[in-house]
Structure 1
Amino acid sequence: MSVLLPMLALPGLMLGACSPPPALDADHGYVRLAAVKGNPAAAYFTLHGGQSDATLISVGSTVAIRAEMHESMKSGSMASMKPIGSVAVPAGATIEFAPGGRHVMLFDMNPGIKRGSIVPLVFQFGNGVRFERKAIAIAAGDAPPKE
């Protein structure tokens, strides 16, 4: 019996060794539409670092005229936000763009984008990596989508 247990564990170890290396990616994206017509929407997502360090230099969308990465801050009772030019994504790290922190402001969104629409987000990195991921649009007062 004692010889059998290590042999049963061996296939699991071999499968773990065959796992693909982590890839630079983004998931869990959603866009909170503006409560007031004409105001920007906000995009949120999770970034996953790949095998080497990377730098996110922009996130845009084909359904917005302009996009800016921002970071929210709070000083006492005062809340503010400032634009950020880039975000370091260390190898293997997880970086959250979430309410109250980093986010992407999407200005002049296509008026056809409504709750439930799919919004393309285009991620551009300093090393030349570029990819598109889909995000679900939610209304201003909606809870973030469940994973």
Structure 2
Amino acid sequence: MRRSWVLVAALALGACSDGPPKLSVDKAYIRLAAVPSRPAVAYFTIHGGTADTALIAVSSEVSVKNELHESMQSGGLSAMKPVGDVPIRSGSTVVFAPGGKHLMLFDMNPGIKPGRAVTLTFTFANNQRIAFDAPTIAAGAPAPAP
């Protein structure tokens, strides 16, 4: 009887463990530009794996050029600048969100309409690539529910 209780406890504890952290991407979406000639913007969350790495690029087949950017406030003014590689520490979470880090998608295919999924390919310094199908939303639409 005692042995079966120990086995049940061990199984329950094992079920609580998710194992080592895995490099992953979630909550990605693309906000289309209000004016077709302007860039679209993508937001997402990256979860670090078991080792440090860096996000070095994000690509898409529906935009000509993509750049990682960061918004900031300085002297009451908003500014935005391109950023290089983004460090992803082991087990960390890095959020790309409005008012902070984001991806600019330049010269996006004008045929992309709200509701269509666009594949974003995330490339990391450890040679790992992750593809994520990000839904598109209109310029003024609320962000999709997580």
The answer as to whether partners of 2:41 and 2:105 remain within 8 angstroms in 1 is: yes
Match of 1:114 in 2: 113
Separation (CA, whole Å) in 2 of partners of 1:105 and 1:126: 20
How far residue 116 of structure 1 moved from its aligned partner, in angstroms, is 0.2
Separation (CA, whole Å) in 2 of partners of 1:144 and 1:21: 30
Residue identity opposite 1:50 in structure 2 = G
User: 1:53-132, aligned counterparts within 5 Å?
Assistant: 53-132=52-131
How far residue 21 of structure 1 moved from its aligned partner, in angstroms, is 2.1
1:137 aligns to 2:130 (yes or no)? no
Aligned residues: 144
Give CA-to-partner distance per residue, 1:68-125, whole Å, 9 cap, x none. 0000001132000000011000001000000000000000111111100101101011
How far residue 14 of structure 1 moved from its aligned partner, in angstroms, is 2.7
SS of 1:13's equivalent? helix
SS of 1:14's equivalent? helix
Match of 2:9 in 1: 9
The answer as to whether partners of 2:36 and 2:110 remain within 8 angstroms in 1 is: no
Residue identity opposite 1:98 in structure 2 = A
TM-score, reference length from structure 2: 0.91
Match of 1:24 in 2: 23
SS of 1:72's equivalent? strand
Separation (CA, whole Å) in 2 of partners of 1:131 and 1:7: 37
How far residue 30 of structure 1 moved from its aligned partner, in angstroms, is 0.3
Structure 1 unmatched ranges of 5 or more: none
Q: Give the CA RMSD over aligned residues.
A: 1.8
Separation (CA, whole Å) in 2 of partners of 1:6 and 1:125: 42
Residue identity opposite 1:53 in structure 2 = D
Task: Answer with 98-107 or 120-129: which moved more.
Answer: 120-129
How far residue 20 of structure 1 moved from its aligned partner, in angstroms, is 3.5
Between the aligned residues of both structures, percent identity stands at 49
Separation (CA, whole Å) in 2 of partners of 1:85 and 1:14: 39
How far residue 22 of structure 1 moved from its aligned partner, in angstroms, is 1.6
Task: Answer with 20-29 or 81-90: which moved more.
Answer: 20-29
The answer as to whether partners of 2:66 and 2:104 remain within 8 angstroms in 1 is: yes
